[in-house]
Amino acid sequence: MLNSIQNLGAGHYIGLDSRKAYELTVYRMDISGGCIPSTQFSVNGGGYEDESFIVYDNICFIYFCTPCFPLNFSGTLVLSVACCIFYSHCGNHALNEKRLGRRDSSLFSLWKKGEPSIWLSKFLKMYELKDEICKSWFAPVGSAGDYPLLSKWVIYGEFSCSGQCESSDEISPIYSLWATFIGLYMANYVVERSTGWALTHPLSVEKTEKLKNKQMKPNFLDMVPWYSGTSADLFKTVFDLLVSVTVFVGRFDMRMMQAAMSRVHEGAKEDFLYDHLSEKKELWFDFMADTGDGGNSSYSIARLLAQPSLNALNNDSTQQLPRGDLLLIGGDLAYPNPSAFTYEKRFFRPFEYALQPPPWYKDVHIAVDKPELPYGVSHLKQYDGPQCFVIPGNHDWFDGLQTFMRYICHKSWLGGWLMPQKKSYFALQLPKGWWVFGLDLALHSDIDMYQFKFFSELITEKVKENDSVIIMTHEPNWILDWYWDSVTGRNVSHLVKDHLKGRCKLRMAGDLHHYTRHSCVPSENPDSIQHLLVNGCGGAFLHPTHVFRDFDKAYGTTYEMKAAYPEVEDSSRIALGNILKFRKKNWQFDFIGGFIYFILTFSMFPQCNLGHILQPDDTFSGHVKSFFSTFWDAFMYMIGQSYVSSMGALLLLVTAISFVPSKVSRKRKVVIGVLHVLAHLSAALILMLIMELGVEICVQHNHLATSGYHTLYEWYRAVESEHFPDPTGLRTRIEQWTFGLYPACIKYLMSAFDVPEVMAVTRSNICKNGMSSLSRGGAAIYYASVFLYFWVLSTPVVSLVFGSYLYVCINWLNLHFDEAFSSLRIANYKSFTRFHIKEDGDIEIFTLAVDKVPKEWKLDPEWDNEVKQPQQASHHRKFPSKWRANAFHQDPINTVRVVDHFVIQQTDRLRVEC
């Protein structure tokens, strides 16, 4: 069990195992066969468990060993120890007949003198058997002359001898195994030792928390790759949507369950109505929507919301705006689907970094009796910290609202914001006669009858004639109905028109990830809504504004655009990124695009008659004419004779027509879809011809198809024979032991790396003898090799064609506003809206925005150095947010600006008619 031999001089050796500690005593064999102590080497290892000895070249090795560490890597240990034993017993001794036949050693001299010993007799027989095994099993694989770069003393060693020493010029294959496994064994030791130390020396809770807080940057998730063909989340989103529409919303509506459960308790309306803020003299509150996409963008908005105050640039002046006492979130809390992972990582994590939850918060806690107030606070009116109310969006409804109910209605904290909310819709009574109605539209873009009944009764019983109402929904029905030329939200419209009767001053929503405000044009209609506000810039990808620039009418009232962010001209310019950046932003789309192009051209491989295109005496125009003539022939062949390619083109055509938005007529959808498919088909056929021409040129110049399928393997064998000789026939024996798998595997593996040669040789055979001459395996290999090169060639082109299609549709036809901007995954242009109910009853509204979102963050030293009081709520801190932008990016706090500012007057002061 000796892993290494150290020569101490005069035949003294010491062996040390890399995983065990030994006390090893070295003895020299005396004339009588006994062992006389010569040298002692000790390693402190504790109690000794095993005792053995080896007689090796007239030296007795007696060692006592004990494991120092647990042996977890048993497989490597056994192999390593076995190799060491084989080498210790065989070494180069077995490879040198002269040394094996040596008769002048003490052992053999003793046997010749007629002084037999029973022990020595048995041992000699074992020794001779060992020699035979070493000679037959572990033959040499070469000599030192074959390995000039390796030192002899490393590989071959020097034998101890009394006279002139002779060095073997041969190497045992067991040495290679030994060296390999001892290296693995040492690596295992290092890994196990370091890991074991970490496991046996855990940090204290205080040190662990301090180390956690000292991490250098947050682990935010990237924005959702909407065009990824390999994302399991996206497939799950589609499945959840189908199930939700057909099962949850179609047959079982969670809103109905909430209403039914509320009827069980007395004071049922308390589950939906909150009036604890109504007695304040003034109130600041915020509105945001559509967060939980990219971590950088979501945290940027959460960081702005969490600050005790913001100094926002407003034209040429700076305006200080205090933090909102109330945060309203307008749905779509996490993308792409509502799951525990997306809610925790994409939604809760950025807000917890921005404003930490209280010290007693536990993320696994389920709130049974809300509101769960901090210690010492007996009623919600006494709580002075920020609060949060949320309505679900369409993405939150994809699982039937299950995750929303668990994480919003059954939890009490979103970071440092208290969540008193119990249901998915609510009514907030605010100071000075202001109300907020948070409606749950589900996936049908409307409220259900139980929800309608609650709000209509509330208007009759609680809302006064001179009160003002803000309605918050997820979808902006007014602008989407105009865009899609449809009518949705009939119950909401009925509630506003026939029950509120002019008391609805503002409707606000998210869903569209931009900011727009439309204000009514003064008219004789006193019941019109004064302002329509869309702000879905809470963290999701950007949506365009220029597509909706012509919107001017809703609910029978004329409106005009007062503000847009980003501005219309900037929005149109941003759309150009579909041509320039589609592939960079959506590289996962290559997996689908390259495969589609290969299906479109599958039946056209190979093109055998390309010589007329390469005529050297032809003009450039002649080459071009011949090329497109061949292109047309391939196209007609695909339509008239191919099966795979024609069916692929037909399926692509159906998909392209279905992909066109339904707002256009059926005739226009067909025209747009056909043009789209023709662009892809033309690009695929041109790329196919270019690739085939490349192969043809290489064949004509004798660069390919010259030596058969296994050119690379034949080259390898020639190099191997020249530089790695095998005088003992070891490779032949390995081939016999593996039943021929050894050279066959290398041969076909190398042919896989010689794809151009395989492709060219097979192409030549097909063109000469026809496709029928090819076996199924040969055809599979040929098309696989073609696919590899064609996929690499086609992926940039398919992205360019598809990106150009999106650009044309969004800027020229006003189509695909969602698809054309989700492809860009723009994290910039983020905003939220801050409201101030003043003492005179008017409400002042600021929309705050940051043009550029930081991509890298660092620990905020002011947050880290601020003195933390025990049980201190984070909203009392001067620096509540953990991360700030690093030195290479501007922090959102320093770049926030006001992009829109207006005032809505209270009804009892001035009635504004539209």
pLDDT digits (tens, 9 = 90+) for 259-293: 666 654 444 456 789 999 999 999 999 999 999 99
Residues 631 and 492 in one domain: no
Select, from the ranges 114-123, 780-789, 891-900, the one with the highest average predicted confidence (pLDDT): 891-900
Residues 815 and 842 in one domain: no
Q: What is the DSSP string of 160-229?
A: --SS------B--HHHHHHHHHHHHHHHHHHHHHHHHHHHHSPPPHHHHHHHHHT-SS--PPPPP-TT-S
- The mean pLDDT of 410-420, rounded to a whole number, is 95
* Residue-level pLDDT at 383: 94
3-state secondary structure of 62: strand
Write the CA distances from 510 to 393, 468, 519, 827, integer angstroms.
9, 21, 17, 16
Confidence grade of residue 27 (pLDDT, cut at 50, 70, 90) = very low
* Residue-level pLDDT at 894: 95
Residue that wins the pLDDT comparison between 58 and 370: 370
Residues 656 and 538 in one domain: no
Amino acid (one-letter) located at 417: W
Please state which of the ranges 64-68, 178-182, 356-360, 874-878 shows the lowest mean pLDDT: 64-68
3-state secondary structure of 834: strand
Helix, strand, coil share of the chain (percent; to 5) = 45, 15, 35
CB 764 within 8 A of CB 692: no
pLDDT > 80? residue 909: no
The verdict on residue 279 lying in a domain is yes
- The mean pLDDT of 519-524, rounded to a whole number, is 81
* Residue-level pLDDT at 755: 78
* Residue-level pLDDT at 648: 95
The percent of residues above 90 in pLDDT, for the chain, comes to: 49
Select, from the ranges 187-196, 233-242, 306-315, the one with the highest average predicted confidence (pLDDT): 306-315
pLDDT > 60? residue 437: yes
CB 251 within 8 A of CB 257: no
pLDDT > 70? residue 782: yes
pLDDT > 70? residue 129: no
* CA dist., res. 94 & res. 445, Å (int): 87
Residues 562 and 591 in one domain: no
CB 495 within 8 A of CB 315: no
- Total tally of structural domains belonging to the chain: 3
CB atoms near residue 321 (< 10 Å): 21
CATH number at residue 266: 3.60.21.10
Sign of CA dihedral 466, 472, 477, 482: positive
CA nearest neighbour of 410 among 477, 502, 343:
343
Tokens for 464, please give them: 């006064």
* Residue-level pLDDT at 522: 81
CB 872 within 8 A of CB 318: no
Residues 538 and 605 in one domain: no
Confidence grade of residue 161 (pLDDT, cut at 50, 70, 90) = very low
The verdict on residue 626 lying in a domain is yes
Please state which of the ranges 172-186, 533-547, 634-648, 664-678 shows the lowest mean pLDDT: 172-186
* Residue-level pLDDT at 872: 84
With residue 427 as reference, give the H or E element that holds it: strand 426-429
Residues 763 and 891 in one domain: no
Mean pLDDT (the chain) is: 79
The verdict on residue 232 lying in a domain is no
pLDDT > 90? residue 299: yes
- The mean pLDDT of 832-859, rounded to a whole number, is 96
- The mean pLDDT of 887-896, rounded to a whole number, is 92
Residues 621 and 658 in one domain: yes
Single out the residue in 821, 855, 882 at which a domain terminates: 821
The percent of residues above 70 in pLDDT, for the chain, comes to: 71
* CA dist., res. 350 & res. 818, Å (int): 25
Instruction: Give one word for 108, left, alpha or beta, with left for phi > 0 and alpha for psi -120 to 50.
Output: alpha
Residues 838 and 809 in one domain: no
Please state which of the ranges 97-111, 618-632, 871-885 shows the lowest mean pLDDT: 97-111
* Residue-level pLDDT at 743: 79
CB 820 within 8 A of CB 806: yes
Q: What string of H, E and C letters represents the secondary structure of 578-630?
A: HHHHHHHHCHHHHHHHHHHHHHHHHHHCCCCCCHHHHCCCCCHHHHHHHHHHH
Confidence grade of residue 791 (pLDDT, cut at 50, 70, 90) = very high
* Residue-level pLDDT at 528: 86
Residues in the chain: 914
* Residue-level pLDDT at 835: 98
Q: Is residue 606 reached through a cis peptide bond, with omega within 30 degrees of 0 on the bond before it?
A: yes
Q: Which tens digits make up the pLDDT trace of 569-589?
A: 999 999 999 998 999 998 888
The verdict on residue 325 lying in a domain is yes
- The mean pLDDT of 314-333, rounded to a whole number, is 94
Contacts of 345 (CB under 8 A, 6+ apart): 221, 295
The verdict on residue 18 lying in a domain is no
pLDDT > 60? residue 163: no
Tokens for 30, please give them: 């005396």
* Residue-level pLDDT at 217: 84
Residues 804 and 837 in one domain: no
The verdict on residue 17 lying in a domain is no
CA nearest neighbour of 897 among 849, 853, 854:
849
Single out the residue in 754, 787, 821 at which a domain terminates: 821
* CA dist., res. 782 & res. 759, Å (int): 6
* CA dist., res. 448 & res. 444, Å (int): 9
Residues 817 and 833 in one domain: no
* CA dist., res. 829 & res. 577, Å (int): 15
* Residue-level pLDDT at 376: 84
- Here the contacts of 315-318 (C-beta below 8 Å, separation 24 or greater) are 315/898
pLDDT > 70? residue 181: no
Residues 729 and 651 in one domain: yes
The verdict on residue 96 lying in a domain is no
Half-sphere exposure of 658 (CA within 13 A, CB side): 6
3-state secondary structure of 717: helix
Residues 705 and 688 in one domain: yes
* Residue-level pLDDT at 175: 53
Contacts of 33 (CB under 8 A, 6+ apart): 110, 117, 119, 120
pLDDT > 90? residue 404: yes
Q: Classify strands 897-904 and 883-885 as parallel, antiparallel or unpaired.
A: unpaired
Q: Which residue has the tokens 């065009």?
A: 227
The verdict on residue 599 lying in a domain is yes
Which parts of 315-359 are beta strand (E)?
317-322, 326-329
- The mean pLDDT of 113-140, rounded to a whole number, is 56
- The mean pLDDT of 109-115, rounded to a whole number, is 43
Half-sphere exposure of 899 (CA within 13 A, CB side): 23
* CA dist., res. 58 & res. 127, Å (int): 13
- The mean pLDDT of 736-759, rounded to a whole number, is 77
> What is the span of the domain harbouring residue 525?
248-566+829-904
Please state which of the ranges 542-551, 556-565, 752-761, 797-806 shows the lowest mean pLDDT: 752-761
CA nearest neighbour of 293 among 393, 218, 220:
220
